[in-house]
């Protein structure tokens, strides 16, 4: 991408912002970026945050990396070329994040969702140790270094008791605003063995963030293992659909009526059609799930939120408006740059065709309503 193209895109975005009364910014003042991805530069970066026993374990087992297979470091969509450092790493330091996001677009807050391979480990205790180390690393290397940053608590979903312990350990820090899991795990998220996690989320005012990605316990498609990464990535919407159905049908929101679920990097356009089909079959089969006492569409609009990167729709403004209209709610979408993933061109971080009022809801009002720990916080 040339500097001329980037500069032209940024200039147009700033001009559009000024027309909306948002002088000098790309979106409304006080905007909140709900999906930023810090990169663990190497497993050595986490060693100071592991107990001696686990540091020895890493050395004895020859563990060299826990990179998430859902986001291979070398894949083009994992990071924009102009955001990669001299060694090819993107989002490896808070200085990079400041230059490329925080100082560039001036959001009030940015929420860090660290995608590291904690969920890939079969050893539950090792997974818990790395989750602790990862959350402590995020605290020391990111949250403590910029007051605009917030983060999600990464939990070892391999063991609900250990996941709950990590939530309780980190919930005392108000800079942690969400609990993070992957869309394609070992079991559906609605299953009751996960419910203590949701009770902790309600107790501490933490939404459940479900991010695209897999623990690779099962094939990422319903037909088996694919041959190519593009198949894996494009099949993630199937996992999100299954998790939405599981959370609703298992009665999670009857048990936890204030729980919010944020679908991160899920795309958006699949949801209206899925809800039409899901609600249609619920009307015929609802005697099977009597605790689901209203349409799945209504439940989704009350309890689920989606980030807008990637917005899997054409760039045509009329089409974007129609997609949003089909959601039947102006409260569901949350702004996210998805940094450093390459989900948008230049600085066109907001979808075209939306009114200034709706853009303000997406960038400011909806995130504040979704994340209660952001309310009244500074800066």
Whether the per-residue pLDDT at 279 is higher than 80: the answer is yes
> What is the per-residue pLDDT for 86?
78
The CATH code of the domain that includes 102 is 3.20.20.140
User: In angstroms, rounded to a whole number, what is the distance separating the alpha carbons of residues 129 and 67?
Assistant: 16
pLDDT band at 350 (very low <50, low <70, confident <90, very high): confident
Greater confidence, 293 or 351?
293
pLDDT band at 13 (very low <50, low <70, confident <90, very high): very low
**Would residue 13 count as lying in a domain?**
no
Greater confidence, 76 or 354?
354
pLDDT band at 19 (very low <50, low <70, confident <90, very high): very low
The per-residue DSSP string of 4-48 comes to: HHHHHHHHHHHHHHHHTT-TTSSS-TT-EEEEE------GGGGGG
Please answer whether residues 206 and 373 qualify as being in contact, where contact means their C-beta atoms are separated by less than 8 angstroms: yes
What pLDDT, in 10s, does the model give residues 77-91?
A: 788 888 888 778 889
> What is the per-residue pLDDT for 12?
41
> What is the per-residue pLDDT for 11?
38
**Would residue 298 count as lying in a domain?**
yes
pLDDT band at 9 (very low <50, low <70, confident <90, very high): very low
pLDDT band at 211 (very low <50, low <70, confident <90, very high): very high
Greater confidence, 16 or 323?
323
> What is the per-residue pLDDT for 29?
79
Question: Exposed, middle or buried, 78 (CB in 10 Å: 0-12/13-18/19+)?
Answer: buried
What lies within 8 Å, CB to CB, of 277 at 6+ separation is none
Please answer whether residues 261 and 313 qualify as being in contact, where contact means their C-beta atoms are separated by less than 8 angstroms: no
**Would residue 163 count as lying in a domain?**
yes
Taking the alpha carbons of 290, 292, 182, 260 in that order, is the dihedral positive or negative?
negative
pLDDT band at 176 (very low <50, low <70, confident <90, very high): very high
Task: Find the DSSP H helices in 45-118.
Answer: 52-61, 94-97, 103-105
Range of the domain at 71: 31-111+118-374
**Would residue 54 count as lying in a domain?**
yes
Task: Find the DSSP H helices in the chain.
Answer: 3-19, 52-61, 94-97, 103-105, 124-141, 160-170, 195-204, 229-234, 236-249, 252-255, 270-285, 296-303, 317-327, 356-360, 366-370
- Residue 40 structure tokens: 């663990």
**Would residue 92 count as lying in a domain?**
yes
| Prediction pTM value | 0.91
Question: How high does pLDDT run on average in the chain?
Answer: 89
User: In angstroms, rounded to a whole number, what is the distance separating the alpha carbons of residues 293 and 328?
Assistant: 20
Please answer whether residues 278 and 247 qualify as being in contact, where contact means their C-beta atoms are separated by less than 8 angstroms: no
Number of domains in the chain: 1
């Amino acid at each position: 991408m040339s500097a001329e193209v980037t500069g032209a895109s940024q200039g147009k975005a700033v001009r559009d912002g000024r027309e909306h009364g948002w002088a000098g910014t790309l979106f409304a003042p006080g905007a909140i970026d709900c999906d930023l991805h810090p990169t663990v530069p190497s497993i050595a970066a986490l060693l100071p945050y592991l107990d001696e026993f686990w540091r020895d374990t890493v050395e004895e087992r020859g563990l060299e990396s826990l990179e998430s297979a859902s986001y291979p470091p070398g894949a083009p969509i994992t990071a924009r070329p102009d955001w990669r450092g001299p060694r090819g790493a993107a989002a490896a330091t808070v200085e990079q994040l400041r230059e490329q996001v925080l100082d560039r677009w001036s959001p009030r807050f940015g929420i860090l969702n660290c995608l590291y391979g904690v969920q890939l480990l079969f050893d539950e205790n090792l997974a818990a140790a790395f989750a602790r180390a990862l959350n402590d690393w995020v605290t020391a290397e990111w949250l403590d270094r910029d007051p605009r940053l917030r983060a999600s608590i990464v939990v070892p979903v391999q063991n609900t008791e250990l996941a709950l312990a990590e939530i309780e350990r980190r919930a005392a820090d108000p800079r942690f605003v969400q609990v993070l899991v992957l869309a394609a795990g070992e079991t559906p998220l609605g299953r009751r063995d996960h419910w203590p996690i949701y009770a902790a989320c309600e107790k501490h005012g933490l939404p459940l963030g479900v991010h695209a990605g897999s623990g690779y316990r099962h094939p990422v498609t319903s037909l088996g293992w694919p041959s190519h990464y593009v198949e894996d990535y494009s099949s993630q919407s199937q996992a999100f659909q299954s998790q939405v159905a599981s959370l609703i049908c298992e009665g999670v929101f009857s048990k936890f009526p204030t729980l919010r679920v944020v679908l991160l990097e899920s795309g958006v356009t699949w949801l209206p059609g899925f809800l039409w089909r899901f609600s249609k079959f619920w009307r015929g089969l609802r005697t099977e799930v009597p605790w689901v006492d209203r349409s799945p569409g209504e439940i989704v609009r009350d309890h689920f939120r989606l980030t807008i990167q990637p917005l899997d729709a054409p760039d045509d403004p009329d089409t974007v408006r129609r997609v949003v209209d089909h959601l039947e709610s102006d409260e569901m979408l949350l702004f996210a740059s998805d940094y450093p993933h390459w989900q948008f061109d230049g600085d066109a971080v907001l979808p075209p065709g939306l009114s200034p009022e709706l853009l303000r809801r997406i960038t400011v009002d909806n995130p504040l309503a979704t994340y209660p720990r952001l309310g009244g916080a500074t800066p």
